[in-house]
Amino acid sequence: MPRPLIVGNWKMNKTASEAVAFIRDLYERVSASPHADVVIAPPFTALESARNALGPSSWISLGAQDVHWETYGAFTGEVSAPMLRELDCRYVIVGHSERRTFFGERDENIQKKVLASLRHGLSPILCVGESLAEREAGRTESAVTAQLSGGLAGLTTQDLAAVAIAYEPIWAIGTGRNATPDDAGGMAEKIRSTVADRISSEAASGVRILYGGSVNAANIKDFMAKSEIDGALVGGASLDPDNFASIVRYWM
Ligand code: PEP
């Protein structure tokens, strides 16, 4: 069984000083290391302060919410993988549905971001998930499989050891309307078999598959009861230290 991974995606929330206050508060609430890899993904502007507040050898790792595929250059507004590594980021969310929907991200560029992350020692968390229209048209599996094929194109078994995949049905993100644990578990199984077909069975058995979409302290145990699901990507409920601590305590 892969080690569980729990990621708090703060989206465009919290200034640097608010990030520091969050970390201090969370440390008060969770004093021992949980049996899971715990990641917070603040906005770029709060990464350095968050790194300093976490301190060395923290049980919490830092993640970024996006990355550009080039190392440097004329890409106004973008941030590269080496810039994130220098701030001690270990993870990066790639292809979040909000980036696909609001910023026109396509699988082709998402795949380049996955590769650039790996090249520079960042673990990408590749987000996939169907829209409500796709779900209602019975196209959930084909939509997710297409995103996987695009995002993971050209990756090797060795690459996959550092990749996590988050299944996030778009209709469940920030809506309070989560997928049922059975549905999420079924999709996680489908994702794993797609990785086995496209890459290898070794890659499939090691890759961490998370569920995301209105996860909270009350429902985390139902998702984690599914053996196909290795962790969670949490948006809204990761913003409040009390809520996030309640989720993390599942692994104490
Ligand atoms: C997300 O941001 O990836 C997410 C799942 O958000 P929420 O938990 O708020 O639905």
Cα 74 from Cα 203, distance rounded (Å): 35
Is 168 labeled as catalytic in the residue annotation? yes
Contacts of residue 114, defined as CB under 8 A and 6 or more positions apart, other chains included, come to: 94, 95, 124, 126, 151, 152, 155, 163
Residue of 18, 78, 96, 120 with catalytic role: 96
pLDDT at 192 over 90: yes
Cβ of 234 less than 6 Å from ligand 1: yes
pLDDT at 13 over 90: yes
Cβ of 214 less than 6 Å from ligand 1: yes
pLDDT of 174 reads 84
Cβ of 55 less than 6 Å from ligand 1: no
Cβ of 130 less than 6 Å from ligand 1: no
pLDDT of 128 reads 98
Cα 33 from Cα 3, distance rounded (Å): 13
Instruction: Kindly give the distance from the C-alpha atom of residue 6 to the centroid of ligand 1, in angstroms, as a whole number.
Output: 12
How confident is the model over 201-215, as pLDDT tens digits?
A: 999 999 999 999 999
Which helix (H) or strand (E) segment holds residue 128: the answer is strand 123-128
Using a 10 angstrom Cβ sphere, with 0-12 exposed, 13-18 middle and 19 or more buried, the burial of residue 39 is buried
- Please count the CA atoms within 13 angstroms of the CA of 213 that sit on its side-chain side: 25
CB contact burial 20-30 (16+ within 10 A = b; e otherwise):
bebbeebbeeb
Cα 167 from Cα 213, distance rounded (Å): 9
Confidence tier at 22 by pLDDT (50, 70, 90): very high
Average pLDDT over residues 225-233: 97
Residue of 105, 130, 134, 168 with catalytic role: 168
User: pTM for the complete prediction?
Assistant: 0.97
How confident is the model over 99-138, as pLDDT tens digits?
A: 999 999 999 999 999 999 999 999 999 999 999 999 999 9
Smallest CA-to-CA distance from 69 within 106, 104, 116, 103 is with: 116
Chain centroid to CA 184: 15
Average pLDDT over residues 55-77: 97
Cα 193 from Cα 202, distance rounded (Å): 11
pLDDT at 230 over 90: yes
pLDDT of 117 reads 98
> Which residue has the CA at smallest separation from atom 3 of ligand 1?
235
pLDDT of 178 reads 82
pLDDT of 179 reads 85
How confident is the model over 127-150, as pLDDT tens digits?
A: 999 999 999 999 999 999 999 999
Q: Is 172 helix (H, G, I), strand (E, B) or coil?
A: helix
Residues in the chain: 252
Residue 68 carries which DSSP code? B
How confident is the model over 52-64, as pLDDT tens digits?
A: 999 999 999 999 9
